[in-house]
Chains A and B, each alone.
Chain A
């Protein structure tokens, strides 16, 4: 076993992330009406995100384990503050404005929740007992409920997912898992009545977008047309008529995959998916190689969460999942989500630096 606290970068993973960043700039140039300002801003964010990754990579897993409860606690407090401000401001409130920078506490929780669940799990030997798992569920449920109240169902589900994945990796027995799945299935009709009207509408639209082609079905139809008309090889960069002629809303952010797919076709999409698969596999590999259970659980969860983002976003754009506000990781235009993602990859890099060589 090596106790080396040396700092090194996993160049394999780094290369994968770099490829995604380059793709992001290319497709943003097309999606953003060839606006150079947009491109420059995104470039700055990418550089910033990579810097964050390198900084986080220097934190050892032991330090991270020690800070976990504090991070989680601070995250919860910020969520409550934001919720309070939102109630006063009569609207969805997700941001904290520090004057020089605005950020969403929910983004912070995407990391803090899996960290805290992993922290809880490794207190007892694995596989996790039912009692430990229950404790984990509570850790997950509190922030999830707060984020739902914002209201941001999409993010809440993703935060909850990242925590639940840790419990799954911790070896919770299959019998309990089966029971849970049964409970969720039974509760689904109940949830139908609890969710907002517009959320219900989105789910209905998924099954029959043409029932309201200019209203609720518009996003789904237009992005399906964009993707479908791309064909095998695509219409070529900057030549997507759906994208360039403004048919696709939010085409720089949540629907950027529609632009990509229209312009680069099935082959392009296949390559992009393979790059994502490569990044996820490498992340899982790093998780398996990690030196302690805390790192393993956390890294495994980060890898899976990343994969879920990709699946949910592309699923939404191609019309197999309802529309939720989830950006395409590393590609969509936007700041906070990229920074929190790269902080996550920083944790993976750190785990790789401190990996267990006797394997």
Chain B
């Protein structure tokens, strides 16, 4: 029985092996059939298919949309599209690239930088993609190429619309700029939407409202002949142009603000308090956004990026400064809300101590202010009053209530990258520094020093809330949008952030004090108010600079200059019926009343009186 089994196994193996040989031969035959077919297609018929492939008749050509324009509130263009000639190359159609560039260089000027970028793009893209070699050809260059065009296979002269910023440096931080889509952008965007679009908004409004401005790409299905020329269009989906955008900015006021800052580093934010519309949003020094459109050279970019003056930084949006005494009106509101300040009168000897013999917190005025209540404390900017008030309110009360003015949080303005500033609390210090809170830190927070940091935008927004009967409107830059599918302009809606928090009588007390800052003989900004036909409510501020240390980057003289105090100024006017709020910061400007105040006055004068400021006008 077992013998029979073994014989059976061998027989089964033999059967299988025999069949395997048949299968093996069959596999070989099938492989040969496939190889023969491939040989036929790829070697014998290569010429035919190669021609077919090159002239593949039906192709889809993207039709890029026209980007929407950006205007200021009066319809003055801030970003427009101007026609410009470009030379574009399809590397796949070029036989000898070096020779071509050589010959082309004789007709139109090609800089080394342009050639470098071109070679880089050729490597990055597929061979049949169109690559821009040279942009902004002059009419002469365009004509010269057009005549010689037949000599350059694979090169096209095209009229494109180029983004242009007529105001150049003015308002550059708000408007932003478009730039070529980079490989990093490619990872973030939907490639389907951007097919055939080479540019996108990189910063500012151009970036924030990219979706409005971009429009929708269209496609033509075209049939071409053997030379690649279009024979007919089979179907066409038109592109949809982007929407035009109107900003709340008054471009002339913007320019006034920038000129008022002059050579100082600083920021000006002007807001319409009743609506939250931003009238001016200045940050100096600035840069020319036109340089970025076709790509800025590495060296030029390094100059901007590494400059000690950080021109690329939007100070109004992202600059974090100690508010200094400009925090005092808000502290005053807290004092009144808590009930402490209604009757409180302190005696100011020129310094303040928490315990007998403890640290002496100095007042800016050596001899002190004598007996002061809230009104005088704001008018004269008495530090001791607010040291004492802060000590009694406590840091957590201050944190929770100053937050109602928007400090320590983003305002939600329609720009990317807003800073939230810093509003300290016990909890914050424990989480961020793993330290307990010291009572002395509360005291200096009361005059806007220590950990407290605000952006110029936050200061302007908070001051607007005081001006607007305690109602804080969301600051915004978009006034209206306009598009082919919209009937006329579509106004942007206004959003109330906070309201009905503050008592009217409390607001009246603080407002009156702020008016007297400019309008009383003892006011810290009496020079600013001098000769003004309208009443100004204001507060000066001086912020100590957080020590800059001497090192390779900062030379000694520079350190001295850059360790000077920052000058701050917040104001709204006319005081009875405010139409404009202004917040000004001048870096290393010294005392707020003397450098930041005049800037604010010039902005308000222009807006309320229509007066161009005179360069040599002295307020005193």
CB contacts (< 8 Å) of B50 on chain A: these are 228-229, 231
Contact of B46 among A231, A242, A270, A273 (CB under 8 A): A231
* 1/0 contact string of B443-454 vs chain A (CB within 8 Å): 000000000000
* 1/0 contact string of B256-277 vs chain A (CB within 8 Å): 0000000000000000000000
B127 adjacent to A33 (CB under 8 Å) = no
CB contacts (< 8 Å) of B24 on chain A: these are 281, 284
Closest A residue by C-beta to B38: A269
CB contacts (< 8 Å) of B128 on chain A: these are 241, 244-245
Check A40 for interface membership: any CB of B closer than 8 A. Answer: no
A288 adjacent to B17 (CB under 8 Å) = yes
A320 adjacent to B19 (CB under 8 Å) = no
Complex Cα spacing A277 to B37, Å: 17
A232 adjacent to B43 (CB under 8 Å) = yes
Contact of B15 among A127, A273, A277, A284 (CB under 8 A): A127
Closest A residue by C-beta to B8: A125
Check B39 for interface membership: any CB of A closer than 8 A. Answer: yes
Check A132 for interface membership: any CB of B closer than 8 A. Answer: no
A273 adjacent to B16 (CB under 8 Å) = no
A232 adjacent to B46 (CB under 8 Å) = yes
B49 adjacent to A225 (CB under 8 Å) = yes
Complex Cα spacing A231 to B49, Å: 9
Interface size of A in residues (CB-CB distance below 8 Å): 51
CB contacts (< 8 Å) of A288 on chain B: these are 16-17, 20
B92 adjacent to A246 (CB under 8 Å) = no
Check B400 for interface membership: any CB of A closer than 8 A. Answer: no
B126 adjacent to A284 (CB under 8 Å) = no
Stretch at the interface among A16-24, A296-304, A341-349: A296-304
Closest B residue by C-beta to A218: B58
Contact of A293 among B16, B30, B43, B52 (CB under 8 A): B16
Check A207 for interface membership: any CB of B closer than 8 A. Answer: no
Q: Is the interface of A mostly helix, strand, loop or mixed?
A: helix
Contact of B56 among A165, A247, A280 (CB under 8 A): A247
Question: Given A228-B41, A228-B46, do A297 and B16 touch, yes or no (CB 8 Å)?
Answer: yes
Complex Cα spacing A33 to B49, Å: 23
Complex Cα spacing A76 to B15, Å: 31
B15 adjacent to A171 (CB under 8 Å) = yes
Check A326 for interface membership: any CB of B closer than 8 A. Answer: no
Chain A interface residues toward B at CB < 8 A: 33, 125-127, 165, 168-171, 214, 224-232, 238-239, 241-242, 244-247, 261, 265-266, 269-270, 273, 277, 280-281, 284, 287-288, 293, 296-297, 300, 304, 307, 311, 314-315, 318-320
What 16 new A-B contacts, CB under 8 Å, besides A169-B16, A284-B27?
A125-B11, A171-B16, A225-B49, A227-B38, A232-B43, A245-B59, A266-B39, A266-B42, A273-B34, A277-B31, A281-B24, A293-B16, A300-B20, A304-B23, A304-B27, A314-B34
Chain B interface residues toward A at CB < 8 A: 8, 11-13, 15-20, 23-24, 27, 30-31, 33-35, 37-39, 41-43, 45-46, 48-50, 52-54, 56, 58-60, 92, 126-128, 191
Question: What are 24 A-B contacts with C-beta separation under 8 Å?
Answer: A125-B11, A125-B12, A169-B16, A171-B16, A228-B41, A228-B45, A228-B49, A232-B43, A238-B126, A241-B127, A244-B126, A245-B56, A247-B56, A266-B42, A269-B38, A269-B42, A273-B34, A273-B35, A288-B20, A293-B16, A297-B16, A300-B19, A315-B37, A318-B34
